[in-house]
Amino acid sequence: MFDLDNTLVDRDRAFNDCLCAEFPDPVAREELCRLDQWERGDRAILLHAWKSHGGTPLTNLELGSRIAERVQSDSGLLESLSMLRAKFKAGIVTNGSSQVQRGKIRTSGLAGVFPPDECWVSEEVGVGKPHPAIFLMAAKSLAVAPERCLFVGDYWPHDGVGAQAAGMRGRIVDQVMNAERLAALLQEEGLR
């Protein structure tokens, strides 16, 4: 199973693209990037600063939708994930709003790899990472025992801690997946 943001799609790059489209001033972009804290910052403070720097007033959902419009996946990654799914059961477990996260899955091309019922979004299921329930829900839906699951994400406090609490192996990546990184990870995990 995979996390979505900054694991399968480069959410931070999409956020920076939003900043560049809205703010010509590099100082404003730098401050907003700092406030975003890789999507872990206080959203109210970020949206207030966005407006105070002259940006279009936005809700968190509107900002998320703008980001979703800009995410991309490596085309080689999509092909590799399709081949992986031919051998293993796989899915996406992600925190966030249904509209935004499903938008990212569509825009990035991941909807062509992972059917909707193999993507678990915290808003839809009522619990988010790091709570083990979302991981266990995904494992049960895939009919795979948690101890046979590998969860790949980018943020240990949510992805690694949650996976381990659910009885899964957790693997943290420090770069967004592409075909080569996925192949290396699978080889290291003995899954090739």
Per-residue pLDDT of the chain (192 residues; tens, 9 = 90+): 999 999 999 999 999 999 999 999 999 999 999 999 988 899 999 999 999 999 999 999 999 999 999 998 888 999 999 999 999 999 999 999 999 999 999 999 999 999 999 999 999 999 999 999 999 999 999 999 999 999 999 999 999 999 999 999 999 999 999 999 999 999 999 986
Q: Which of 49, 25, 26 is nearest to 37 (CA)?
A: 49
Domain-wise residue ranges, the chain: 11-70, 75-188
Residue 19: the pLDDT is 96
173 close to 167: Cβ distance less than 8 angstroms: no
Q: What is the pTM of this model?
A: 0.94
To which CATH superfamily is domain 75-188 assigned?
HAD superfamily/HAD-like (3.40.50.1000)
